[in-house]
Chain A
């Protein structure tokens, strides 16, 4: 596996810009050089997005700037720029193959694992490019956790599943580990169901419990950002509701980015929504206005179910 990514970053913009999060001014600055490119795609972007971000209580946590992404020679993301505010839920929607999952995986560099991928543009986590040589990808993934579509409990006990992240980071103190396991399970609303059988296999849990276990496991590494790739798509409605409640609860402390195919889910859990289509970020804005009053025809067609 290639841990040193073959990546070309266009750092020019990043250097010109303040790494601090000064929302209104930087966003305007970022928009200008960008507009000189293909205008047709991006005209929709700024207005709504900025209105979502100018809320002073939510500084920008993750900022993607002009991100192109390639599998080999196949380009799957085209000049995506998106600001993700902290301590809120940002939903990425769009039809299958639109690049939303790929975009999600660039945020914690999970795409590094796939050979033959490369990107251009910047992904700034609190102002620092995640591909910057000073960023260790192992540490990055601890800060930017990820929950997958298919729940992937390790074939170990419930306790060992939760303790895995802290353990691989080097925590050996048993009492501390037990404490982390308990708080993580509590935050993931799973503690009451499993507290009596922490040593039994995690594979014996139900699908919904497994997914909450995976969320708890991510929380145990104490991340800032949690990426969720269709976390509820394989669950029954009841379990889905529990996971959604959980996401709602977690956004108080974490920045959450969620990919979903379920429009109602996006509307229920998120504050911002970004609509991807064929690798292009078509429209972004606060969830309510995007769903009630989309600017773009494509967005409207998608959310009203005319395609996708």
Chain B
């Protein structure tokens, strides 16, 4: 053995030891993250134990902890996320398709792409301020005495749109939509970029137009990624509190938006559905925040129960996303 080889052999043990150390460092990092999560979940469940009952899920908020419920928040959050999704999906996916498939690569597009990432990092309260100015007050342009109301008569009721929107549910949805748009656009862009260019070229070479190539080749392949991005963004919107406080969500509301407190209510009185978007609102997160601020000890338990409900909703939401993604992926066998 040469001197060099002897030296190498002496070093070998040390190299293996460092390798083992590093593995343990990573393992401890993972375990501690899981441990914190477990403690958190256990703590919340412990506090919420006995409070998460039917009364809690079907009752409105009350000054007496025993009678307080989350129903207004459940309806508020559902409506908020519903409208946020409707507003965000077409705009977000459309913008991503434009940026990835159509836009020429010039300084302007690069600037837009760069700023999308910056926008995704803007604190949510800033979006709240924007929401107040743009949607709640509409830049003060329509501030005649009580504002205006556009009434549109539909067969089953009248759609009354107040202008400016005021502190209504739809203003909250617009704000949340702005908040998550950058995330949806970036996720969709990445999903589109992951589709191999060779597929596009093959499609063009067979005489397909740009739209046909996007519709039949690019989008089907990108749908799983886009869906995941959308659902994750909506989950984030579901957990937001700050921008909703700024746009004027009510911390104490004892009715659901549009007084629609059971799904059957929509059938019995469709007018309620039309009223809901323009009604005052609260959300699960706002109710939790409100309860935490209450001096009475029992409200802390209610806050924990509310958090647990939110967590369960998020898990269900993400599970749905995974199912949708897997279904879509099965259709595309690379």
Q: Which residues of A contact B (CB under 8 A)?
A: 1-3, 108, 110, 113, 115, 138-139, 141-142, 145-146, 148, 150, 152, 154-155, 164-165, 168-169, 201, 203-204, 214, 217-218, 221
- B205 pairs with A141, CB closer than 8 A: yes
Which of chain B's residues have a CB closer than 8 A to the CB of A214?
A: 202
- A108 pairs with B205, CB closer than 8 A: yes
Chain A's closest residue to B205 (CB) is: A146
With beta carbons under 8 angstroms apart, the residue of A115, A141, A204 that contacts B333 is: A204
Which of chain A's residues have a CB closer than 8 A to the CB of B22?
A: none
Chain B's closest residue to A220 (CB) is: B206
The reply on B54 being an interface residue by CB < 8 A is: no
The verdict on A141 contacting B207 (CB below 8 Å), with A148-B201, A155-B332 known, is yes
Interface core residue of B199, B202, B204 (most chain A CB under 10 Å): B202
- B333 pairs with A168, CB closer than 8 A: no
Which of chain A's residues have a CB closer than 8 A to the CB of B221?
A: 155
Which of chain A's residues have a CB closer than 8 A to the CB of B78?
A: none
Q: Which residues of B contact A (CB under 8 A)?
A: 101-102, 104-105, 196, 198-210, 212, 216-217, 220-221, 331-334
Distance between Cα atoms of A148 and B212 in the complex (Å): 20
- Can you name 18 A-B pairs with beta carbons within 8 Å? A141-B204, A141-B206, A142-B206, A146-B205, A152-B201, A152-B202, A154-B199, A154-B216, A155-B221, A155-B333, A164-B216, A165-B207, A165-B208, A168-B208, A168-B212, A168-B216, A169-B207, A203-B333
- A138 pairs with B198, CB closer than 8 A: no
- A217 pairs with B206, CB closer than 8 A: yes
Distance between Cα atoms of A75 and B204 in the complex (Å): 25
Distance between Cα atoms of A26 and B78 in the complex (Å): 74
The verdict on A113 contacting B208 (CB below 8 Å), with A155-B333, A204-B333 known, is no
Which of chain A's residues have a CB closer than 8 A to the CB of B207?
A: 138-139, 141-142, 165, 168-169, 221
Chain B's closest residue to A108 (CB) is: B205
Distance between Cα atoms of A147 and B334 in the complex (Å): 19
Which of chain B's residues have a CB closer than 8 A to the CB of A150?
A: 198
Distance between Cα atoms of A66 and B212 in the complex (Å): 34
- B333 pairs with A110, CB closer than 8 A: no
Prevailing SS type, chain B contact patch: helix
Seed contacts A113-B200, A164-B208, A168-B207; 10 additional CB < 8 Å A-B pairs:
A1-B104, A113-B201, A115-B105, A138-B208, A142-B207, A154-B202, A155-B331, A204-B333, A217-B202, A218-B205
Chain B's closest residue to A147 (CB) is: B205
Interface core residue of B105, B199, B207, B333 (most chain A CB under 10 Å): B207
Distance between Cα atoms of A139 and B205 in the complex (Å): 10
Chain A's closest residue to B333 (CB) is: A201
Distance between Cα atoms of A203 and B101 in the complex (Å): 25
- A110 pairs with B201, CB closer than 8 A: yes
Within the complex, the shortest CB–CB distance from A221 to chain B, in Å, comes to 6
Within the complex, the shortest CB–CB distance from A254 to chain B, in Å, comes to 15
Which of chain B's residues have a CB closer than 8 A to the CB of A110?
A: 201, 204-205
Which of chain B's residues have a CB closer than 8 A to the CB of A1?
A: 101-102, 104, 210
Which of chain B's residues have a CB closer than 8 A to the CB of A142?
A: 206-207
With beta carbons under 8 angstroms apart, the residue of B105, B204, B209, B216 that contacts A113 is: B204
Distance between Cα atoms of A80 and B122 in the complex (Å): 54
Q: Which 6 A-B pairs have the closest CB atoms?
A: A142-B207, A146-B205, A165-B206, A152-B202, A168-B208, A155-B332
Chain B's closest residue to A145 (CB) is: B205
Distance between Cα atoms of A2 and B105 in the complex (Å): 10
Which of chain A's residues have a CB closer than 8 A to the CB of B201?
A: 110, 113, 148, 152
- B210 pairs with A3, CB closer than 8 A: yes
- A138 pairs with B199, CB closer than 8 A: no
Distance between Cα atoms of A226 and B202 in the complex (Å): 13
Distance between Cα atoms of A145 and B203 in the complex (Å): 11
Distance between Cα atoms of A138 and B204 in the complex (Å): 8
Which of chain A's residues have a CB closer than 8 A to the CB of B332?
A: 155
Distance between Cα atoms of A152 and B195 in the complex (Å): 12
Distance between Cα atoms of A1 and B208 in the complex (Å): 14
Distance between Cα atoms of A217 and B208 in the complex (Å): 13
Which of chain B's residues have a CB closer than 8 A to the CB of A204?
A: 333
Which of chain A's residues have a CB closer than 8 A to the CB of B210?
A: 1, 3
Which of chain A's residues have a CB closer than 8 A to the CB of B196?
A: 152
Chain A's closest residue to B105 (CB) is: A115
Chain B's closest residue to A112 (CB) is: B204
Distance between Cα atoms of A61 and B202 in the complex (Å): 23
- A152 pairs with B198, CB closer than 8 A: yes
Chain B's closest residue to A155 (CB) is: B332
Within the complex, the shortest CB–CB distance from B224 to chain A, in Å, comes to 12
The verdict on A148 contacting B105 (CB below 8 Å), with A164-B208, A168-B207 known, is no
- A168 pairs with B199, CB closer than 8 A: no
